[in-house]
Amino acid sequence: MTKSDRTHFLITNGRLRRQDNNLYFDRYDEDDNILSSKPLPIKAIDEIYLLGKIDIDSYSIAFIAHNNILLHFFSHFGTFRGNFFPNSSNSVNKSGFVLLQQLRAFDDEVHRLHIAKKITRGHFINGANNCKKYKVEFDIEIHLDSLNKAKTIGEIMASEGAFQKNYYQSWNKIIKNQRLFKFIKRTKQPPTDKINTLISYVNTRIYNIVLSEIYKTELDPRIGFLHEPNYRSLSLHLDIAEIFKPIIGDNIIFWLVNNGEITAKSFKTNSGRIRFTNDAIKSIEKSIIKRMTEQTIIGEQKLTWRQVIRREINQIKKSIVETSEYSPFIYG
């Protein structure tokens, strides 16, 4: 169990319970006997990731809801399964006006296209800047030109797909261990090799971090602009994560594999599916937490990466509500 950044990770099997107006985690052995109990200070938690087999009762969930704590649920294989976010009087007040403006921006073909293009442009440039950082040649202009010519969301997504395919191929010049982590093809649900397993896990963490920050604002996470909301319950966090996956997620992956933090011993196969060991998850989470608590300078402000993400969300909100110009965050 790792804790920092007001985030807790429950990796081993056990029980999460309320006791004396606090949360406790009872760690189980292989026979579900309690090995140890540890308090989780309720006032120091914003979100909890449940990666082990965790027992939790409705009494504890109600307590978690009252304290506005977000839960992220993962399967036995480390696959993200869903969120629990409280709908209580203590949570951030959602504005009916902002919701209406968000819906109007989504229904306005020009406005939606504008926001979707800007988000995708940020994704392209931040990815290309990673290549520049590692002295890998990457022709971004062809992708920016394709994006500029796009007239529909479908064409933007096609442009994004072409960019991502070329960008991932450039990873083979960034990642040193080509025997173990050579990128061939992006695969999901489930990922079919070690590099895809790492990408999927880290990307999911970025999605959930962005989602947590959206919940702290007046925007509705169900209404995205680039990713269609029709076929999924939430989509706005997928949009905004496109900007930050290259900046945060991809650089964490490069560091982990190039510095030997993730090796062949970090993986195990269960029922034909690749998953991480608990030690590997701890290494990944330490790197993510370290990155998220680092500060970067924007103008005259020093902001953590969580604050930068929330700033980006509010920039989009400002564009929606005030119909002002929106420019995505570019790093590097």
The total number of residues written for the chain in this structure = 332
Q: At residue 153, what is the residue type? A: I
pTM (2 d.p.) = 0.84
Confidence of residue 44 (pLDDT cuts 50, 70, 90): confident
Top pLDDT among 90 and 315 is at 315
**CB neighbourhood size of 64 (10 A):** 21
Structure token pair of residue 184 = 């061939």
> What is the per-residue pLDDT for 68?
84
For residue 194, what are the contacts with CB-CB under 8 A and spacing of at least 6? 180, 181, 264, 267, 274
Please determine, for residue 117, whether its predicted confidence score (pLDDT) is greater than 90: yes
Mean pLDDT of 266-270: 89
Quote the pLDDT of residue 241: 97
Residue 148 main-chain phi, psi, to 5 deg = -60, -30
Which range (156-165, 236-245, 257-266, 289-298) has the least confidence? Answer: 289-298
**Pairing mode, strands 22-28 and 34-40:** antiparallel
CA distance 65 to 54: 17
Pair of tokens at residue 297? 């300078």
Q: How far apart are CA 33 and CA 52, in angstroms?
A: 15
The candidate with the shortest Cα–Cα distance to 209, out of 179, 171, 247, is 247
Among 315, 184, 178, 304, residue whose Cα is nearest residue 248: 304
Question: Pairing mode, if any, of strands 70-74 and 80-84?
Answer: antiparallel
CA atoms within 13 A on the CB side of 250: 26
Token pair in block for residue 149: 């010519």
pLDDT at 147 over 80: yes
Average pLDDT of the residues of the chain: 90
d(CA 196, CA 184): 9
pLDDT of residue 150: 97
Average pLDDT over residues 266-289: 89
Cβ neighbours of residue 262 under 8 Å, at least 6 residues apart?
Answer: 198, 256, 280, 283, 284
SS3 category, 267: strand
pLDDT for 231: 64
pLDDT band at 232 (very low <50, low <70, confident <90, very high): low
Q: Which domains does the chain have, with CATH numbers?
A: 2-84 (3.100.10.20), 96-322 (1.20.120.920)
55-83 per-position pLDDT tens digit:
999 999 998 888 888 888 887 767 778 87
Q: Which of 18-32, 141-155, 234-248, 304-318 has the lowest mean pLDDT?
A: 18-32
> Mind listing the pLDDT tens digit for each residue in 82-109?
878 776 444 455 678 999 999 999 999 9
Say how many Å lie between the first and final Cα of the chain, rounded: 33
Q: Which of 245, 173, 176, 171 is nearest to 208 (CA)?
A: 245
Record the tokens describing residue 242, joined without a space.
């496109």
